Amino acid sequence: MFFDSNTIIFVIVNHMNTIPVHININPELYKKNPESSDLGKRIITKSIEMIHEIGFEDFTFKKLGVEITSNESSIYRYFESKHMLLVYLINWYWSWLEYRLAYKIQNIKSPKEKLEIAVDLLVQEVINDNDFSSINEVLLHKIIVDESSKAYHTKSVDTENEKGFFKCYKRVVGRVSELVLEYNPDFEFPHMLISTVIEGAHQQRYFSQHLPSLTDFEKGKNNIVRFYTNLVFKALNIS
């Protein structure tokens, strides 16, 4: 893995080809790039584990410092608050998912097939950890489902949006919205459709774990993916 101050670059070997994967993170989200040091990577690794285990509300830099055997003040040299750390993690996730989307549809010609792949990617559960650097994608996806709305359901959301804190998420919605219009150029609400699919799927996964009577999730039947794929293509019905 190679990196500069703003970009994490993963190198993936695919048969005979080496593919660099760029994960762009807004430098305003951190004081010091956590990928630039062993301590920074430990902060990211352990924070993902702890937020998943105890929840964002109970997670503190003091508790994190104990877990990584480092002073709380050292964590503040990387992130000014746990809110900024959460937004950083969310940005990483959506940048990673954007790469996966581009990779999966790059040689697909059919607009319908590209959109099917995109919807599946947006709503499926992440079950394989590709072991990229200090990020556990399986646990990070669970944090996205459980905690990500807390990053933008705040009084500072407008200011942070102007700074580009949610650009990665919006870019993914924009890219999939383009696939919607490629499939049906006359559809009036592509961004509303895709953001509804993403947020709705996250809610359904949350309900399946905590409020099961609010969902029709059944283990092994992939109902969430099936439901939202059906919803998208019925909304885009081409007569």
- The CATH number for 137's domain is 1.10.357.10
Tens of pLDDT, residue by residue over 176-185, are 999 999 999 9
- pLDDT mean over 147-156: 94
| Nearest-10 Cα torsion for 99, 121, 104, 171 | -40
Q: Structural domain tally of the chain? A: 1
186 Cβ contact partners less than 8 Å away, ≥ 6 residues apart: none
Which of the residue ranges 12-26, 142-156, 216-230 would you say has the lowest mean pLDDT?
Answer: 12-26
- pLDDT mean over 138-146: 96
- pLDDT mean over 140-146: 96
Instruction: State the CB neighbour count (10 A cutoff) for residue 197.
Output: 22
Which of the residue ranges 4-13, 27-36, 72-81, 106-115 would you say has the lowest mean pLDDT?
Answer: 4-13
Max Cα separation, the chain? Answer: 63
Whole-angstrom distance, CA of residue 219 vs CA of residue 212 = 12
Per-residue model confidence (pLDDT) at position 215: 96
What is the domain range of residue 73?
2-235
Per-residue model confidence (pLDDT) at position 132: 66
Whole-angstrom distance, CA of residue 126 vs CA of residue 115 = 19
Question: With contact defined as beta carbons under 8 Å apart, do 91 and 13 qualify?
Answer: no
Question: With contact defined as beta carbons under 8 Å apart, do 28 and 14 qualify?
Answer: no
Per-residue model confidence (pLDDT) at position 128: 75
pLDDT at 195 over 90: yes
Which one has a higher pLDDT value, 121 or 238? Answer: 121
Tens of pLDDT, residue by residue over 36-73, are 999 999 999 999 999 999 999 999 999 999 999 999 99
207 Cβ contact partners less than 8 Å away, ≥ 6 residues apart: 214, 215, 217
pLDDT at 134 over 80: no
Closest to 172 (Cα-Cα) out of 228, 79, 105, 86: 105
- pLDDT mean over 108-132: 90
Distance set, CA 207 to CA 6, 102, 197 (Å): 36, 30, 15
Residue 3 phi/psi, 5-degree rounding, is -155, 155
